[in-house]
Amino acid sequence: MYRYDEFDQAFVEERCRQFRDQVERRLKGDISEDQFKPLRLQNGLYLQLHAYMLRVAVPYGVLSARQLRKLGEIARRFDRGFGHFTTRQNIQFNWIKLEEAPDILDELARVGMHAIQTSGNCIRNTTTDPFAGVAIDEIEDPRVWAEIIRQWSTIHPEFLFLPRKFKIAITGAAEDRAAIAFHDIGIRIVMGKEGRSEFSIYVGGGQGRTPVVASLIRPFLKKEQLLSYLEAILRVYNLHGRRDNLYKSRIKILVKALGIEEFKRQVDEEWEKLDKPSIDLPIEEYERIAAYFEPVNLQAAPIQNEQVTAREKADPAFAAFKRNNVFAHRVPGHVSVAIALKEPGKIPGDASADQMDAVAELAERFGHDEIRVTYSQNLVLPNIALSDLVAVYDGLVAAGLCSANFELISDIIACPGLDYCNLANARAIPIAQDIAKRFGEQKKAEDIGPLRFNISGCINACGHHHSGNIGILGVDKKGTEHYQITLGGSPGDDASIGSILGPSFPAEDLPEAIETIVAIYLEKRENPKESFLATYRRIGKEPFKDALYNPNALNSGGQSDALEEV
Amino acid sequence: MSEYYRGGFLEDTWVYINDDAPVPETGNVIVSLTRWRAGGACFSDLQGQVGVFVEPDDVFHEHTDRLSKLSLVSLSFPKFSDGRGYSQARMLREQLGFEGEIRGRGEILLDQIPLMMRCGIDAFEVCHEPTIAALKSEALPGIMHTYQSPVNDRFGRLRRWRGQIQG
Amino acid sequence: MPSWKPCVVTANMLKTGDVVYLGPQEVWVRNIEDAVVAHNSDELAELEAAGQRASDAQLVISVYAMDVDVVEGKARPYTVREIIRAAHGPSI
């Protein structure tokens, strides 16, 4: 993984001093809250319901053991002993004091970390495949380019006051595990002409109030031209994106208003005029950065291991963990292990300081010092020898991190909701807990199979409900929390936006409604291999709608098309 | 009242002339882009220099040689959070080869000034008292280590990916 | 005449982010029951002016007036959001 050199270290220390000075000026009253807010946001510091919240950048979700330990230490010293991993592969701390934030940034700088641009109307953390560099379906490791984008976008002086936030994702594998279609810019490494890998560039995807699947703007882009092309897109957006209406200021609205053809024309025109050599990465720099991402030197080993096989036979919990949380690795005899921070009944994405220490320890002893944060608010140990799998599993059991539900229905993506967030309309965490417990039984969850379940506490859609196979949106209905259900969203290659099923439910009726939806799926699927999403796409939403809103008509075979959606 | 800052606080020799006011015969004047475009001739008797003020949604499409007759461009930052002027500045410097003064006006705050300078803005009309005070004590809070080529290194003369601004 | 809903003024402390309410003598208190309740628009204007002063003095941020129920003379929040805020922690 990338390691800071003297330059990076000097830069981040300078940034810490700058922020300390900004905080001092704020406390003195030299700058007003209005003027301070964008400065603190560009350092990831929000004011939430109960306290300040600090979002720390985990560039493209990659952490070393030392960094994860530092996050645990920060959780203990400055927070209440835990942190919350986010869908941008970052971590946030919920109980932060403004006066201590500069000290926290100093601590982070000691391990090559920061909170730069984790909020604000600027380019945010670039996200990628949590299995980058080890996945068997990978064309090329996207982390090299994610790091290049990180450096290029860091305090890019032109793009810190964009109309709105800006998110980039990149994937290098056949299967998109980075939800690139729901990003302002999505980048996919593809095999181009002449057997050279190139980039396909997508633009204008996003969630929020107006969910949009990104459009292809350029099927093939030479890799060495990436930064100038990104700069052209950003410049067109910076100049022409709407600034009069917060809800219409993302690039997706500009792309829609102009049409992808006209937007592309403007980008190409701008790109033509750019001084590319001063923007694109010199080859020596590419090589310097790429060298950090050389594959870990692993020795191929037998793909069967007696200890693992024996444990699978003797221990159903281990067998379930291996079925759901253990993934093939490029090097035979190795696996990637997913750690689900989703024990039913717990807060999705939360990890305690002790758990962070435990994972760091496992990564050091067995995992070549590397941990990944996933889009789904979980962790991954990407490089584990099969012969160490039992030891790793036992370590996870001891840390209370052995939930065998990765990518199952109880592996719920949820935003903090009204329990912490200033913007939320409804709570998300208790809903996630209720539903996960309903489907907590392993056999039941596995029978249902892969199911992307997402909950957002408001229309800003931080829980990505639009792209959930089942999505829940919390709304405020005359002062009470209600929940709207959408079905059929998908964040992957077949990206789609969920469709609203019907009127919202009060919290107490929601788990029952979800049970009904799942029951319809189990009844209607053609065979146990047909996923929830596949069944939904085959039969449409009517059977689900009927079951929820018109059960009598369902029994008598009647129609229920008259239902109004809200 | 704003104070004029260009490396230090200086006397501002430029006067803004509204579209409905006559252009004086002497002195350095800043007129609207529209007026400058329309009235090339009415500036021919002028003893002083000509500059234009542009708004964030104005687009320059002048050729470099016509632009070179201008001595100053004044970019507007109606709010510090409106970042269009950063792009306008870079386009002026890097694409149109403008070498005169580019000044920022409007809500110019201390923390934005180093970023504006990196985009090619070299003068500022500052109204914000704490910013004036800080600039007088020479405390520019910018970060000297940068991951992007500085704007005056255009056309690859000093191409570099990472650099250090000389303080 | 529209019916008047009693109000208190709330904010977060600038340095810590803690949720606070405006109490007697312009002191900010943690417990909503200790907050001064405005029973009419004049009383509210006074509280809001005090809130503005504290904001100008870099003591608090995000100052706003919120409707409350009054039970035995003490303010009590009634929206889910304000109940969670007044509890100084999540509901779970």
Domain count within chain A:
4
Does A203 reside within a domain? yes
Residues A436 and A539 in one domain: yes
| Residue B137 touches partner A, C-beta closer than 8 Å | no
- Expressed as residue numbers, the domain containing A318 is 306-398
pLDDT at residue B157 tops 50: no
Q: Which residue of B has its CA nearest to A272?
A: B95
Contact: chain C with chain B (3+ CB pairs below 8 Å): no
Q: In what order do the strands lie in the sheet with A168-171?
A: A127-128, A168-171, A185-191, A197-203, A215-221
Residues A158 and A62 in one domain: no
Picking from B92, B111, B153 by the largest number of A CB atoms within 10 A of its own CB, the best residue to mutate is B111
**Which pLDDT value is given to residue A553?**
61
Candidates A190, A191, A145; CA nearest to A169 is: A145
Looking at chain A from residue 1 to 20, which residues have their Cβ under 8 Å from any Cβ of chain B? 7, 10-11, 14-15, 18
| Residue B61 touches partner A, C-beta closer than 8 Å | no
A132, A133, A296, A301 from A329: Cα distances, Å: 11, 9, 12, 11
Give the CA-trace dihedral at A211, A213, A217, A218, to 10 degrees.
150
**Which pLDDT value is given to residue A214?**
98
Neighbours of chain C (3+ CB pairs under 8 A): A
d(CA A187, CA A220): 10
**What integer is the mean pLDDT of A46-55?**
97
For residue B102, which phi and psi values (nearest 5 degrees)? -115, 120
Average pLDDT of chain A, as a whole number: 95
Residues A144 and A287 in one domain: yes
How many contacts does A have with B, using Cβ atoms within 8 A?
105
Does A239 reside within a domain? yes
Beta-carbon contacts of residue A284 (< 8 Å; ≥ 6 apart): none
| Residue B156 touches partner A, C-beta closer than 8 Å | yes
Residues A352 and A472 in one domain: no
pLDDT at residue A466 tops 90: yes
**What integer is the mean pLDDT of A450-460?**
97
Please identify, among A110, A145, A171, the residue that sits at the C-terminal boundary of a domain: A110
Contact: chain A with chain B (3+ CB pairs below 8 Å): yes
Residues A274 and A139 in one domain: yes
A181, A227, A256 from A252: Cα distances, Å: 11, 20, 6
CB A341 within 8 A of CB A349: yes
A276 chain-B contacts, CB cut-off 8 A? none
Could you say which of B91, B111, B114 has the minimum Cβ distance to residue A22? B111
Residues A141 and A196 in one domain: yes
Domain ranges of chain B: 3-164
- CATH code where residue A461 lies: 3.30.413.10
Neighbours of chain A (3+ CB pairs under 8 A): B, C
In chain C, where do the E strands start and end?
7-13, 19-22, 28-29, 60-67, 69-71, 74-76
d(CA A519, CA A183): 33
| Residue A243 touches partner B, C-beta closer than 8 Å | yes
**What integer is the mean pLDDT of A150-156?**
95
**Which pLDDT value is given to residue A550?**
87
For residue A452, give the amino acid letter: R
**Most distant CA pair in chain C, distance:** 41
H-state helical runs in A328-403? 353-366, 389-398
**Which pLDDT value is given to residue B138?**
73
d(CA A28, CA A40): 15
Could you say which of B112, B130, B153 has the minimum Cβ distance to residue A278? B153
C89 chain-A contacts, CB cut-off 8 A? 50
Name the pLDDT band for B31 (thresholds 50, 70, 90).
very high
User: Which CATH architecture describes the domain B3-164?
Assistant: Alpha-Beta Barrel (3.20)
**Which pLDDT value is given to residue A564?**
40
pLDDT at residue A314 tops 50: yes
- The structure's pTM equals 0.95
Residues A161 and A283 in one domain: yes
**What integer is the mean pLDDT of A319-331?**
98
For residue A81, give the amino acid letter: G
Q: Which residue of B has its CA nearest to A239?
A: B84
3-state DSSP call for residue B32?
Answer: strand
Residues A266 and A312 in one domain: no
pLDDT under 70 in chain C at which residues? Answer: 1-2
Does A501 reside within a domain? yes
B115 chain-A contacts, CB cut-off 8 A? 155, 157, 160
Strand partners, A451: none
Name the DSSP letter for residue A180: G
**Which pLDDT value is given to residue A447?**
98
* Å between A480 CA and nearest CA of chain B: 35
Crossing angle of the two packed helices A353-366 and A65-78, in degrees rounded to 10: 170
In A415-466, where do the E strands start and end?
453-456
Residues A470 and A352 in one domain: no
In B2-84, where do the E strands start and end?
3-5, 9-10, 14-16, 28-32, 50-54, 72-77
Contacts 24+ apart (CB under 8 A), C72-79: C73/C37, C74/C33, C74/C37, C75/C6, C75/C8, C75/C21, C75/C32, C75/C33, C75/C35, C75/C37, C76/C32, C76/C33, C77/C32, C79/A479
pLDDT digits (tens, 9 = 90+) for A219-276: 999 999 999 999 999 999 999 999 999 999 999 999 999 999 999 999 999 999 998 8
**Which pLDDT value is given to residue B1?**
78
Residues A318 and A203 in one domain: no
A48 chain-C contacts, CB cut-off 8 A? 17
Quote the tokens at residue A447. 């029978």
Residues A438 and A529 in one domain: yes
Please indicate whether, in this complex, the C-beta atoms of A429 and C90 are within 8 angstroms of each other: yes
Beta-carbon contacts of residue B89 (< 8 Å; ≥ 6 apart): B75, B102, B116, B119, B120, B121, B151
3-state DSSP call for residue A331?
Answer: coil
CB A105 within 8 A of CB A52: no
In this predicted structure, which of A121-130, A401-410, B129-138 has the lowest mean pLDDT?
B129-138
Could you say which of B84, B86, B141 has the minimum Cβ distance to residue A18? B141
H-state helical runs in A154-225? none
Per-position b or e across B100-132, b if 16+ CB within 10 A of its CB: bbbbbbbbbbbbbbbbbbbbbbbbbbbebebbb
Q: What percent of chain A has pLDDT over 90?
A: 94
Cα A424 to its chain centre, rounded Å, is 19
How many contacts does A have with C, using Cβ atoms within 8 A?
66
pLDDT at residue A194 tops 90: no
